[in-house]
Structure 1
Amino acid sequence: MQVTSRRLIQITQKFWRRLNHSRRGKVILALLLMCLAVRLMPYFAPIRATDIQQNQLALQFSDRNGLPLGTLLTRDQEHTAVVPLNQVSPQFIQAILAAEDSSFYHHGALDLKAIARAIKEAIHAKRIVSGASTVTMQLARMLDPVPRNLSGKLQEIWLAWRLAAGMNKDEILAAYINRLPMGGNIYGVEAAARTYFSIPAQDLNVAQASLLAAIPNNPTYFDPLAHWQRLKQRQKYVLNRMVEDGYINSALAERAYTEKVVFQSRQRGIIAAPHFLFWLASQQSTPEGEGQIRTTIDRPLQQFVEAQVQQVLASLSANNVHDAAALVIDNRTGEVLAYVGSPNYFDEAKLGRNDGVQALRQPGSTLKPFVYELALAKGVIRPNAILADVPAHYAIPGAKLYSPTDYTQKFQGPVRVRVALANSLNIPAVRVLEKVGVPAFLEHLRQLGFEHLNQTPEYYGLGLTLGSGEVSLWELAKAYVTMARQGETASLVSTISQTSNSKPQTPNPNPITWQLIIDMLSDNHARATAFGVDSVLHLPFPTAVKTGTSSNFRDTWTVGFTTDYTVATWVGNFTGEPMRQVSGVTGAAPLWNRIMLHLHEHHEPENFPSPQGLVQLPICAISGLKPTPDCASVVQEYFYPADKIAYENPQPGGLSAEYDEWLAKQQPATFNTSNLRIISPNNGDLFLLYPGEQTSQKLEFKLIGKTAEAVEWRLNGEKLAMDTAKSLFWQIRPGNWTLEVKSKNSSDRVSFQVQLSKSKSTRRGFSIVNSQVNHSSP
């Protein structure tokens, strides 16, 4: 027996000596060492919990008064709520482990027994019967999705080893359940519990937990809102596994399966302002603990604006209009009170997730007020200046001749600054920009907050004032808030904490130019040529407003304010498809009108302040100078005190040569027309009748046009005369008046107002405060 044992030892020693000296033996030994090295390598590159920390806990949003808006956390448009493991229902932890990895706490990154079993079953069935992915491997796949092939599986295993090397089991499980895909764009058990059941994850019962644990296996196939019966079958599997693992008994599993559980729509996780919540979440720094964010949103106002967006779009659907956005700001604080990015965030088929408040679009004419303000501030133009609305041509290097035109394709000749801005005339705005300089204007816009105008001045050219750049509704609203605050800049505020931490703003020491622009934009009669005297822009309280329409009618804008609020609206199509017969006043303006009326339903805003230190003087509407007896239209306009000397001593002169082409085209239309046309008063004129002069003053009605027949004159429907004369004198008296003339083949009509002045005139009679040139019949 001893000989045999000694012989066996000798044989064994001889075998190992041969193995060590043979090439094959060295190869086997090298392979063993390599496998050991590979298995140890993850410990030299471990992934720790802090390395994959999501950094965001569940954010609960409320409005300014504490009313809930929604609970979510989002990155890349995904609802993701993150909670610690101890804030998750034990029933859910048991359910997810039973369904996905029942021996999670008893194996490493890989479950070798499960792998062996899966291989054996696949060989026997000649197909893959069951998987062997552990929770750690699934987490690896969530962190770094790879193709489902051999190379991808090796990458997944390598990452799983690194996770196991750097994290304990609880850390891995917490990272896993906070990333679980739960249907749609819902991720994590906390987000799912709050979205589907309006409860936190720690309150889930067995029935709810087993249903949620059933979803991640195939979130599309088991979508609770689309495939309820499939989900119930998967729930039965989860409950059976929970029974097998000893978490619950059969009776409790049966009760959980038969319990009636109702899933709420995914959008119910958000009560109001979805675009605002997603945008605000992306702006938040990492909160410590569960985030409770009190926003500046006024929920009743928000829901009102959301409803108005849908109603206005419904009325414009025949005009190929499908999208809109709106923003409401408190001028005094800069707080965002309402934020609507689209008609329905949850309508993915109609691009509902697009945020029209932050999207970049061409702003049309909404930038014009800022070029006029800059020109006034630099002294390039004066408030009483006359601008030429006549054909103009600009040579642009490397491009076609630039010849701006107005929406109507017509020209008005000499126009006041007030009329040019209020009626959004293009050529005067381009002429003003030419004097100011594109670089200076671009810098001015950037100082106002237009961060996306980041190209060179040459890139935008003179078209910048007509909207050749791209801006957001957010940027426009911010700039108009600065205007409403008379040049005092302010950041837009979205949370109450920002409001409480904001520093008091220093008033603008020189607000005069802003006050002039506000006065012009709030002058309803000044914009009568383009919009009429009773458009949706005319509200029963003081408002300053500007519309804009981009090229090819792809975007319409209306931005305006009272002393209290700024409202910015956009109407168009996210696809960029043109609208049909829709402009700023017919697209975005009705929405702006509804919001403004609602804001001031119970509170009328204060009047805008008059420009400080300026004086109003009568001027000739054609020359901008002190009226002469030959002046047909006298209007009131503001003057700087320093300009009064020049006003009292005007230099003689007529229209300059730049008007020659325009004048030549006016002659046939004005004096040789066969159509009747009222040339005095002008449509939209406002006459001031001074105290003591009511009974002694008459207004001359004038018309032109060839007709051999008698002309019928009517005022507010009452017949005044039937005469062949081209003029008629009328005893002036206060009121709103519509003058009509009619012959057999032609007619014309204008509207004007007469008001009693509150102060005694320095000149006898009455004066025209505002005058337009618009003789087309409505």
Structure 2
Amino acid sequence: MKVTSRRLIQITQKFWRVLNRSKKGKVILALLLMCLEVRLLPYFAPIRATDIQQNQLALQFSDRNGLPLGTLLTRDQEHTAVVPLNQVSPQFIQAILAAEDSSFYHHGALDLKAVARAIKEAIHAKKIVSGASTITMQLSRMLDPVPRHLSGKLQEIWLSWRLVAGMNKDEILSAYINRLPMGGNIYGVEAASRTYFSLPASDLNLAQASLLAAIPNNPTYFDPLEHWQRLKQRQKYVLNRMVQDGYITSALAERAYTEKVVFQSRQRGIIAAPHFLFWLANQQSTPQGEGQIHTTIDRPLQQFVEAQVKQVLSSLAANNVHDAAALVIDNHTGEVLAYVGSPDYFNEAKLGRNDGVQALRQPGSTLKPFVYELALAKGIIRPNTILADVPAHYAIPGAKLYSPTDYTQRFLGPVRVRVALANSLNVPAVRVLEKIGVPAFLEHLRQLGFEHLNQTPEYYGLGLTLGSGEVSLWELAKAYVTIAQQGKATSLVSTFSQSPNTKHQTPNTNPTTWQLITDMLRDNHARATAFGVDSILNLPFPAAVKTGTSSNFRDTWTVGFTTDYTVATWVGNFTGEPMRQVSGVTGAAPLWNRIMLHLHEHQEPENFLPPQGLVQLPICAISGLKPTPDCTSVVQEYFYPEDKIAYENQEPGNLSPEYDEWLARQQQATFNTSNLRILSPHNGDLFLLYPGEQTSQKLEFKLIGKVVEPIEWRLNGEKLAIDSANSVFWHLHPGKWTLEARSGEKSDRISFQVQVAKSKSTRRGFSIVNSQMNKQP
């Protein structure tokens, strides 16, 4: 019977009048109105295709010579590529529909038949047997993952209704297949097809399409690289569903199932420099669509460095060393030539995605060149200044006494600036920083590009020069390029689309100061005390280099340069676990050495320019002054022209009292001095004597000085018998004592006291008047 629209309206009106006549009818009417309202609400908040458009599309990278480095399918760490529906193989579309939602084009957001079937099966089996999620509902979970409980399911349905209200079926299906999880960090059919088969999704055949359509059901369980047999079983299910839905015949299904299909590793598509590509992708702001990015990387060099990182780590495995990073910079342009963030980006179990180039770590001693450079620039020290490498103690407010030492626990006494820097001595560096001031040094480091040193000066304290802050390998390399460029700050360049590199002189410095630092860092003889004459830092061509080791041997660094290249290397563990018996020279230095030799294999670099306007003069290595006949070690050092007159008129001097404690600990007096000086005890010392222990407590009298006549010791005017020329041991006796040592016309005199201790708890042999430590007989 034909029903007109007018007749339909009349029937509907009559139905509503009947419902309105009874209470029950009113309740039903109210419920129907509520359902209608709920169902219509999504149309007031529809989600359209443009609202969920994927903008992060593929980026293709090439090296400086046009060689491909790889393709990233998004700018984040998920490989995603977006293609329209008409550029996807029809066989994949059929396979995914058969596997996930065969009635997709015939129902709305929900498949009510599937819901009823799932409920019936669950009641019968007393457990959930099959799901009823449609492709639209799966897309809603991709857009807004929610917990799998009732409220989460309601949210999922609500979002599905909004999708249906704003998009047609093809738009929903397109958004769905471009977001499908395809194993690992691969998302979307195009990304999967390119990654696993090196094909666009449009070229997938039935065997490949059915395998890819099998993965999204459980990407981990059906991982093609880990669980091949599971995936084949799921493929059989997909093919059978395609047969049932009439897409293919049983014969085609059997042929596709038996066809040999080889999956490529997920890292395919990235040829070299994965950390660099992901880091660079995050810096880009290319418009929608595929971006072609021409980088400064040298692919052969990059692959060489990647191989060397693995080889060096292999040789250090027994020392609990697992990770490394390296950076190579062209000094003249600031261009990044090689960038290795870890030994294997794709090894997730070993934290391979961690980027050691950008990670923040304590730099150890690699910041020391900048404290000496600033001190020279400010005139706080001169090239011939002698620094005291002797025990030093600093009172830190609210903290324990700070007593810097080297990891060897040895002290060298008087050392030149050159030797202090080249041998990475801690105490002299801290003494120099104390004179500069932490705020001034911190500001200088920030001007050099250490942006992550963003705490207060009080936070870092004097330990800043020893690596108490955290910096990146990138920042270190940039700062060392500044040294190589004689103080001209150079921005690091990663693509040829960047603005031309501009250089500007670092504030308050001049090229001469930087040339002096370079000359010290390249001096193989100056660093011989710590590293030996023929260490791995010594190259067959001019190279300046500095190592660093953080506390507890968690990080080792080596950063250095020639006139052409700067190479920065880090070796350690991403977990922060300490290495065993590994320092900068044994950890990061071998990697630095290999890269440097490779860079200059065919052409040696030019020599460094000598410090401009300075003159070299002989000095005594102990005093820093013009040598006298008594000097046992004469070396050449640079002088500013204005210091030459003072140099000619300088008079021989003695080591200052700050060296006394150190000198007293030496096995023999190796440092000659023209005057005679008592080293131990010190003038004004007070010693405590325990009752009944006079026979066991002794005090050593020790002196230094060049003598040609026998030494005479007198205590309160009485001559003492001596066993050796420079020292004598005396049993403690209470009283006030004057000690005198004489050799010919040379003499020295000091006074000290000995008192009987009142309590055994008092520290034995410790002076309670003089601030000097360790006055034990």
TM-score (norm 1): 0.81
Letter in 2 for 1:502: P
Alpha carbons 1:196, 1:269 under 8 Å: kept: no
**Is 1:71–1:194's contact at 8 Å kept on the other side of the alignment?**
no
- Residue in structure 2 matched with residue 495 of structure 1 by the alignment: 495
Q: Which amino acid aligns with 1:511?
A: P
Change (3 A) 1:239 1:324: same
Distance in 1 (CA, whole Å) between partners of 2:36 and 2:382 is 85
CA distance in 1, matches of 2:547, 2:588: 8
The reply to whether residue 254 of structure 1 matches residue 254 of structure 2 is: yes
Deviation at residue 503 of structure 1 after TM alignment? 4.2
Kindly provide the amino acid, as one letter, of the partner of residue 150 in structure 2: L
CA distance in 1, matches of 2:424, 2:74: 41
C-alpha separation between the residues in 2 aligned to 1:565 and 1:521? 15
Structure 2 vs 1, CA of residues 263 and 15 (structure 1 numbering), >3 Å: closer, same or farther?
closer
What's the counterpart of residue 665 of structure 1? Answer: 665
- Give the letter aligned to residue 206 of structure 1: L
374-383 vs 489-498, which moves further: 489-498
Question: 1:764 aligns to what?
Answer: none
C-alpha distance in 2, partners of 1:651/1:38? Answer: 100
Alignment partner, residue 772 of structure 2 = none
Q: Is the partner of 1:462 in helix, strand or coil?
A: helix
What is the DSSP-based 3-state SS (H/G/I as helix, E as strand, rest coil) of the residue aligned with 1:566? strand
Q: Work out the CA distance in 2 between the residues paired with 1:177 and 1:38.
A: 29
Q: Which residue of 2 aligns with 1:99?
A: 99
Q: Which residue of 2 aligns with 1:485?
A: 485
Change (3 A) 1:24 1:383: farther
1:48 paired residue number: 48
Deviations 1:91-143 (A, max 9, x none): 22222122212232333222233323333444455443332211111011112
In structure 2, do the counterparts of structure 1 residues 103 and 631 end up closer, same or farther at CA, with 3 Å as the change threshold? same
Name the SS of the counterpart of 2:252 in structure 1: helix
Q: Aligned residue for 2:341?
A: 341
Is residue 641 of structure 2 the alignment partner of residue 655 of structure 1?
no
The answer for the alignment partner of 1:746 in structure 2 is none
Cα deviation, residue 660, structure 1: 2.0
Deviations 1:346-397 (A, max 9, x none): 2233222222222211111001111111111222211221111111110001
Show the counterpart of 1:754.
none
> 1:663 deviation in Å?
2.2
CA distance in 2, matches of 1:622, 1:369: 22
Aligned equivalent of 1:195: 195
Question: Cα deviation per residue 1:452-491 (whole Å; 9 max; x = unaligned)?
Answer: 2111111110001001111111111111112212222222
Describe the shift of the 1:491–1:107 C-alpha distance in structure 2 as closer, same or farther (beyond 3 A). farther
AA aligned to 1:267 is Q
C-alpha distance in 1 between matches for 2:460 and 2:571: 24
> Is the Cα–Cα contact under 8 Å of residues 305 and 338 in structure 1 kept in the other structure?
yes
- 2:535 is equivalent to residue 528 of structure 1: no
Q: Deviations over 1:536-581 (max 9, x none)?
A: 0000011010000111111111011111111111111222221111
What is the match of residue 701 of structure 1? Answer: none
Distance 1:305 1:13, change over 3 A: closer
The CA deviation at 1:203 is: 2.1
Counterparts of 1:52 and 1:17, CA distance in 2 = 44
Instruction: Check the 8 A contact 1:72/1:191 in 2, yes or no.
Output: no
Distance 1:12 1:599, change over 3 A: closer
d(CA) in 1 for partners of 2:521 and 2:528?
12
More displaced 10-residue stretch of structure 1: 282-291 or 476-485? 282-291
C-alpha spacing 1:669/1:26, structure 2 compared with 1 (3 Å): farther
Which residues in structure 2 correspond to 1:600-619 (within 5 Å)? 600-619=600-619
Q: Could you tell me how far apart the structure 2 residues matched to 1:50 and 1:15 are?
A: 42
CA distance in structure 1 between the aligned counterparts of 2:276 and 2:651, rounded to whole angstroms = 57
Contact 2:58–2:74 (8 Å) recurs in 1: no
**Which residue pairs with 1:555 in the alignment?**
555
Q: Which of 236-245 and 360-369 deviates more? A: 236-245
Is the CA contact 1:559–1:567 (under 8 Å) kept in the aligned structure 2?
yes
**What SS does the corresponding residue of 1:267 show, helix, strand or coil?**
coil
After superposition, what is the alpha-carbon deviation per residue over 1:661-715, rounded to whole angstroms, capped at 9, x for unaligned? Answer: 222223646499xxxxxxxxxxxxxxxxxxxxxxxxxxxxxxx9xxxxxxxxxxx
Which letter maps to 1:157? I
Secondary structure of 1:269 counterpart:
coil
Matched residue of 1:545: which SS?
Answer: strand
**Is the contact made by 1:564 and 1:605 (CA closer than 8 Å) also made in structure 2?**
yes
Give the residue type in structure 1 aligned to 2:480. Answer: Y
Deviation of 1:87 (Å) = 3.2
Instruction: Tell me the equivalent position of 2:143.
Output: 143
Q: How does 1:361-440 map to 2 (within 5 A)?
A: 361-440=361-440
1:426 Cα deviation (Å)? 0.3
Aligned residue in 1 for 2:585: 585
Q: Is 1:205 aligned to residue 205 of structure 2? A: yes
Q: For residue 468 of structure 1, what is the aligned residue in structure 2?
A: 468
Q: Which amino acid aligns with 2:166?
A: G
Separation in 2 of the partners of 1:44 and 1:305? 58
| Whole-angstrom distance in 2 between the partners of 1:350 and 1:630 | 60
> Do 2:296 and 2:494's aligned partners in 1 also have CA atoms closer than 8 Å?
yes
Q: Distance in 2 between matches of 1:156 and 1:669?
A: 85
- Over 3 Å counting, the alpha-carbon distance change for 1:85 and 1:493 in structure 2 is farther
Residue in 1 aligned with 2:503? 505
Q: 1:266 is paired with a residue of what secondary structure?
A: coil
Q: Offset of 1:316 from its aligned partner?
A: 1.4
The unaligned stretches of length 5 or more in structure 1 are 1-10, 673-703, 705-778
- Report the counterpart of residue 774 of structure 1 in structure 2: none
Deviations 1:156-214 (A, max 9, x none): 11111222223333332222112111112222212211221122222222221111011
Distance change in 2, residues 1:203/1:507 (3 Å): farther
What secondary structure is seen at the aligned counterpart in 2 of 1:292? strand
Unmatched 5+ residue regions in structure 2?
A: 1-10, 673-705, 707-777
Secondary structure of the residue aligned to 2:304 is: helix
Q: CA offsets, 1:257-304, max 9 Å, x none?
A: 222111112223322222222222222224431222232222221221
Residues 73 and 281, structure 1, Cα contact 8 Å, conserved in 2: no
* Further displaced range: 559-568 or 329-338: 329-338
Q: Structure 1 residues 437 and 283 mapped into 2: Cα distance closer, same or farther (>3 Å)?
A: same
1:637-659, Cα deviation, whole Å (9 max, x unpaired)? 11222222322322553222222
Contact 2:76/2:278, CA 8 A, preserved across alignment: no
Alpha-carbon displacement from aligned partner over 1:618-642 (angstroms, at most 9, x marks no partner)? 2222222222333222221112222
Matched, 1:313 2:319: no
- 8 Å Cα contact 1:181/1:187 also seen in 2: yes
For the residues of structure 2 that align with 1:651 and 1:21, how far apart are their CA atoms? 123
One-letter code aligned to 2:100: E
> Equivalent residue for 1:117?
117
Partner AA of 1:463 in structure 2: G
Q: Is the 8 A contact 1:59 1:81 kept in 2?
A: no
Q: Which residue of 2 aligns with 1:766?
A: none
> For residue 505 of structure 1, what is the amino acid of its counterpart?
K
Aligned to 2:489, the other structure's residue is in SS state coil
Aligned partners of 1:57 and 1:83 also within 8 Å: no
CA distance in 2, matches of 1:169, 1:440: 65
Mapped to 1, the partners of 2:274 and 2:195 lie a distance apart of 13
Segment drifting more, 625-634 vs 301-310: 625-634
Q: 1:690 corresponds to which residue?
A: none
**Post-superposition CA distance 1:325-345 (Å, at most 9, x none):** 111111122222212222222
Give the 3-state SS of the residue equivalent to 1:96 in structure 2. Answer: helix
- For residues 586-623 of structure 1, what are the alpha-carbon distances to aligned partners after superposition, in whole Å with 9 as ceiling and x for unaligned? 11101110111011101111111111222222222222
The DSSP-based 3-state class of the residue aligned with 2:139 is helix
Q: Which letter maps to 1:327?
A: L
Percent of aligned positions that are identical = 90
Q: Is the 2:623–2:653 contact (alpha carbons within 8 Å) kept by the matching residues of 1?
A: no
> Which position in structure 2 is the counterpart of 1:68?
68
Q: Is the 8 A contact 2:91 2:205 kept in 1?
A: yes
Q: Does the aligned pair in 2 maintain the 1:55–1:286 contact within 8 Å? A: no
Q: CA deviation at 1:216?
A: 0.3
Letter in 1 for 2:446: R
- Counterpart amino acid of residue 64 in structure 1: R
Quote the residue 1:177 is aligned against. Answer: 177
CA RMSD for the aligned pairs?
A: 2.5
- Asked if 1 retains the 8 angstrom alpha-carbon contact of 2:47 and 2:166, the reply is yes
